[in-house]
């Protein structure tokens, strides 16, 4: 998990995690994972621990749901090979020379110029409100699952005038007969089949990119452009209340047990056993438990 790995970058020696998954008891595997995380990092002691773990669980469930839907669709839908609709498919792209974006397109817009000198000294740039960066000719935003590239174009631009090529590791967008507005290699791989573009109000080209690794924040959209400080990214509000009751209960129990262990206190199971023993002792006052040893 990328969120966990980022939070463990505190110059600690890497320790191998050794545990095997028993399909009949997946929660046991998660408890071992939380024990390991608690020993090797401070993640569970942070105020944002619940939100970060809930975000990871939500993303994992979303990926699983999408994979199941895709499998089901592949089984139920028979796609004819010979009968391809020419209307639905885009015309083949004409070969164009690959040119690097002009330097001016990689300059942050005016709102970013205030702290330009400070940012050049400190390195990474503070991200915009969408956890991305704004440039003169385009901007990009992101969440853990997707990246959105927004490119202003002349008013009245038709979709047939736009050229957009999305590959696993590269993006090329522009207007026909002109130099590409965005042309470069992604910071990380995307899923081309789950990416698409459209033109909004005939004046803005919007490109939606689905990340292949949906647990990592991108430092830049295209390699070579200024990088943002991912430590200052503000993730979407994801709470335990967003999870289904069963998942929420399991996550809360594991987090409570882990915190209890770190403070040397009994876990929820141990508390339950102690309560049962106290109840039994109160129901049998005639019995002497003074010399009894309890595990």
Q: pLDDT tens for residues 88-137?
A: 555 555 555 555 555 444 555 554 444 444 444 557 889 998 999 999 99
Single out the residue of 14, 4, 226, 265 nearest to residue 115, CA to CA.
226
| φ/ψ of residue 241, rounded to 5 | -65, -15
pTM over 0.75: no
Write the pLDDT tens digit of every residue in 62-83.
888 888 888 888 877 655 555 5
User: In sequence order, which residues have a C-beta less than 8 Å from that of residue 284 and are 6 or more positions away?
Assistant: none
Write the pLDDT tens digit of every residue in 10-29.
445 566 777 777 777 777 77
> Angle, nearest 10°, between helix axes 245-262 and 49-76?
140
Tokens of 173: 């967008």
Write the pLDDT tens digit of every residue in 242-252.
667 777 777 77
Report residue 31's pLDDT band, with 50, 70 and 90 as the boundaries: confident
**CATH class held by domain 133-210:** mainly beta
Length of the chain: 295
Half-sphere exposure of 216 (CA within 13 A, CB side): 14
Alpha carbon 88 to its chain centroid, in Å, reads 31
Residue 165 pLDDT > 90:
yes
| φ/ψ of residue 18, rounded to 5 | -115, 110
Pairing of β 182-185 and β 170-175: antiparallel
Per-domain residue ranges of the chain: 133-210, 245-282
């Amino acid at each position: 998990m990328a969120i966990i790995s980022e939070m463990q970058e505190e110059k600690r020696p890497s320790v191998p995690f050794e545990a095997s998954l028993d399909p009949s008891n997946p929660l046991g595997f998660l408890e071992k994972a939380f024990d390991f995380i608690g020993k090797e990092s401070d993640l569970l002691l942070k105020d944002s621990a619940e939100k970060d773990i809930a975000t990871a669980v939500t993303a994992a469930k979303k990926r699983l749901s999408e994979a199941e839907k895709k499998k089901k669709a592949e089984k139920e839908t028979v796609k004819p090979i010979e009968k391809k609709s020419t209307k639905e498919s885009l015309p083949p792209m004409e070969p164009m020379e690959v040119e690097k974006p002009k330097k001016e397109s990689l300059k942050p817009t005016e709102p970013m110029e205030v702290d330009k000198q400070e940012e050049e000294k400190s390195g990474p740039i503070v991200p915009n409100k969408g956890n991305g960066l704004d440039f003169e000719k385009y901007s990009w935003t992101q969440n853990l699952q997707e990246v959105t590239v927004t490119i202003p174009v002349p008013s009245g631009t038709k979709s047939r005038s736009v050229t957009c090529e999305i590959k696993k590791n590269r993006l090329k967008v522009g207007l026909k007969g002109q130099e590409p507005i965005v042309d470069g290699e992604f910071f990380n791989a995307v899923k081309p089949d789950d990416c698409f573009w459209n033109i909004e109000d005939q004046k803005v080209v919007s490109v939606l990119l689905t990340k292949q690794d949906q647990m990592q924040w991108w430092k830049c959209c295209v390699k070579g452009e200024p990088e943002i400080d991912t430590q200052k990214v503000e993730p979407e509000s994801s709470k335990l209340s967003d999870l289904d009751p069963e998942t929420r209960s399991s996550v809360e129990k594991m987090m409570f047990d882990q915190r209890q262990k770190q403070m040397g206190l009994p876990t929820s199971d141990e508390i339950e056993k102690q309560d049962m023993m106290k109840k039994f002792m109160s129901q049998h006052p005639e019995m002497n438990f003074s010399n009894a040893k309890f595990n």
